């Protein structure tokens, strides 16, 4: 069976152009809403996990991002018993369509030179654990 017999490839070109325009329009709307979705995500985290700190790092924190860049977020807890389960729970709080790279740390991990380097240009969004003292950063409110 040739690929031209598969659904989309047999559609008239005019229909494909319409689908492409619809996709691009929806994608542009979603990109415009990313900051709103990010605020919603951080609010949900702070409501569920009061004793944590939330840090934005990467291109968005440095101000070098492009409109479609994802959000690099570290959520820091005093102690983590099951990291995979915790990440799964945090991902469930993520709004649909929100582009996210998520990592969790224990407070003691912030002493690791590699972690410190990774978070060197971070913006602290929520700081119940006072990680600003460890990372020597100002809190962005």
Express each pLDDT in 27-62 by its tens digit. 667 667 888 999 999 999 999 999 999 999 999 999
Instruction: Give the pLDDT score at 18.
Output: 77
Is the Cβ–Cβ distance between 92 and 16 less than 8 Å? no
Contacts of 106 (CB under 8 A, 6+ apart): 76, 77, 78, 79, 80
Q: Find the mean pLDDT for residues 79-97.
A: 95
Beta strands per DSSP E along 3-127: 52-57, 71-77, 100-106, 123-127
Residues in contact with 51: Cβ distance below 8 Å, sequence separation at least 6, in sequence order: 77, 78, 128, 129
Which CATH number applies to 33-135: 3.90.226.10, 3.30.450.20, 3.30.460.10, 2.40.50.180? 3.30.460.10
Residues with Cβ within 8 Å of 33's Cβ and at least 6 positions away in sequence, in order, are 97
Q: What is the residue extent of each domain of the chain? A: 1-32, 33-135
For the entire predicted model, the pTM comes to: 0.77
């Amino acid at each position: 069976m040739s690929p031209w017999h598969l659904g989309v490839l047999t559609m008239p070109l005019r229909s494909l152009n319409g689908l492409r325009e619809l996709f691009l329009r929806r994608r542009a709307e979603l990109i415009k809403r990313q900051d709103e979705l990010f605020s919603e995500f951080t609010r949900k985290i702070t409501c569920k996990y009061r004793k944590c700190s939330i840090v934005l790092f990467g291109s968005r924190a440095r101000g070098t991002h492009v409109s479609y860049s994802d959000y690099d977020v570290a959520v820091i807890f005093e102690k983590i018993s099951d990291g995979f389960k915790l990440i799964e729970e945090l991902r469930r709080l993520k709004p649909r369509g929100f582009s996210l790279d998520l990592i969790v740390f224990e407070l003691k991990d912030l002493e690791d030179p590699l972690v410190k380097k990774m978070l060197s240009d971070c913006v602290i969004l929520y700081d119940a654990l006072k990680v600003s003292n460890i990372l020597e950063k100002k809190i962005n409110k």
